[in-house]
Amino acid sequence: MARPSIWLLLLLIGCPSHCPRATQQHSSRRAYHKTPRAIAQYATFGDRLVGMALTVGAEDGQLLVGPQRVRVVPLGDIDVDHPYRQQYDSNDPVVSTADGQLFPSFSACVVWLVATCAHQATRSLAASTVSHPGPVMDLYRTLATSPIQDDIAHVDCASPDGSKHQRVIVLSGARRDNAFAAYVRVSAASASGYVVLGTTEADVEGAEGWLRSAPATGELLRRSARGIGVDVDALRLVDLSGSM
Asked whether residue 41 is assigned to any structural domain, the reply reads yes
pLDDT of residue 28: 46
* β-sheet with 165-172: strand ranges across: 54-56, 62-65, 68-72, 95-97, 102-103, 154-158, 165-172, 182-188, 193-199, 123-130, 238-239
Do 154 and 190 share a domain, yes or no?
yes
Whether residues 132 and 231 fall in one domain:
yes
Number of structural domains found in the chain: 2
Q: pLDDT tens digits, residue range 173-213?
A: 877 788 888 889 999 998 899 999 988 898 888 888 888 88
Do 75 and 127 have their domain in common? no
Average pLDDT over residues 55-78: 86
Residues 107 and 151 placed together within one structural domain of the fold = no
pLDDT of residue 22 exceeding 80: no
Exposed / middle / buried, residue 22 (Cβ in 10 Å: 0-12, 13-18, 19+): middle
Q: Is the pLDDT of residue 1 over 70?
A: no
Residues 131 and 176 in one domain: yes
Same domain assignment for residues 28 and 95: yes
pLDDT tens digits for 115-164?
776 656 578 888 999 888 888 899 999 999 998 877 788 889 999 988 89
* 36 shares its domain with 24: yes
Q: Does residue 127 sit in the same domain as residue 235?
A: yes
pLDDT above 60 for 10: no
| CA pair distance 217, 212, nearest whole angstrom | 10
Is the distance from CB of 117 to CB of 16 less than 8 angstroms?
yes
* Full-model pTM: 0.76
Q: Kindly state whether residue 102 falls inside one of the protein's structural domains.
A: yes
- Which residue range is the domain that position 14 belongs to? 6-117
Contact present, 30 and 133 (Cβ < 8 Å): no
Domain co-membership, 131 together with 223: yes
